[in-house]
Amino acid sequence: MLKKIKSLINIQRSLPRQLSKLENAIAEQKILSAKSLVNTFDYSLDLPIASYEFKVFSQWGDDGIIQYLVSRIDIPNKTFIEFGVENYTESNTRFLLINNNWSGLVIDGSSSNIEQIKHSELYWKYDIKALNAFITRENINELILSSDFAKDVGILSIDIDGNDYWVWHAITVIDPVIVIIEYNSIFGPDRPWTVPYGPDFYRTAAHYSNLYFGSSLLSLCDLAEKKGYFFVGCSSSGNNAYFIRKDKIGMVKKQEPHTGFVLSKFKESRSADGGLTYISGETRLATLKGMPVFNTRTLQTEIIE
């Protein structure tokens, strides 16, 4: 009996190591498959960026879009900064880090997520820094300066489920070549809206539906124009918008906000008791009736009707 107990204990102790090996093996196979797929793409064709989508570590098809853009644009500094990465198993820049050997900084508000990244194989195999911080427009420039990256960063990816517009608006210490930023498609293609700024904004606490966050695509495109960027399209999932600095646009085709807009189809809405409601399309906006939004053109707060 004692031998059986010891054997079970040894098996239990070895499970995390065996699971890690399995996860690494799966990731390696995904990377090999993605590399083979990249070789089949003709990046010289003038197609919408979503035509090149594929997923390795990104939530949707952003890995493929990023590979297309970095192959078409002159980016001297192969560096990235990404916010809101959780434990970095699902992110926009992980494939870029591994496949293209870029250097990067990732920031997340959870200390346990950051510790998990620091104790992963990635942290010694690749040139990546992980920083624990809750990002606000007041601290973002200092956080970036602490990374010691050149001003001409290759990619900036923002996905913090709330103050995304306000954080990009506040950034002055870098001029990324490519900016990837989440937008809230339920605000529609024609409304210049963002959630009002709050340094402690938390999406789920702000509204039970989990749909009250971020900015409309139109507001982001207006901000991009002021910062010197062209809008070049959205992911087919309707969650990420892509912008390229005007002096680096090259042969990538720019888009207009209305024609490039994609309405998301994923159904993440919640009821007041936290259960999924599965509502979709434009009807989702009705869930937010009575909530305040900031109009980035009139600079006035409005109420969703």
The mean pLDDT of the chain is 92
Model confidence at 303, pLDDT cuts 50, 70, 90, reads: very high
Query: What is the model's pLDDT at position 34?
Result: 75
Residues 53-73: tens digit of each pLDDT: 999 999 999 999 999 999 999
pLDDT(4) > 80: no
Q: In what order do the strands lie in the sheet with 300-303?
A: 193-194, 292-295, 300-303
In degrees and rounded to multiples of 5, residue 60 shows phi and psi of: -120, -130
Q: What is the pTM of this model?
A: 0.90
Structural domains of the chain, ranges and CATH numbers in brackets: 45-303 (3.40.50.150)
127 and 103 in contact (C-beta within 8 Å)? yes
More reliable by pLDDT, 212 or 26: 212
Task: Choose among 157, 166, 168, 111: nearest CA to 134.
Answer: 111
> Whole-angstrom Cα distance, residue 245 to residue 229?
4
Model confidence at 89, pLDDT cuts 50, 70, 90, reads: very high
pLDDT(6) > 60: no
pLDDT(16) > 70: no
Query: What is the model's pLDDT at position 29?
Result: 72
The tokens of 99 are what? 């496949």
Residues 130-141: tens digit of each pLDDT: 999 999 999 999
> Whole-angstrom Cα distance, residue 179 to residue 152?
12
Query: ∠ at Cα 76 (72, 79), nearest 5°?
Result: 95
Residues 43-52: tens digit of each pLDDT: 888 899 999 9
> Whole-angstrom Cα distance, residue 165 to residue 150?
23
More reliable by pLDDT, 140 or 31: 140
Question: How many other C-beta atoms are found inside a 10 Å radius of the C-beta of residue 31?
Answer: 17
Residues 178-227: tens digit of each pLDDT: 999 999 999 999 999 999 999 999 999 999 999 999 999 999 999 999 99
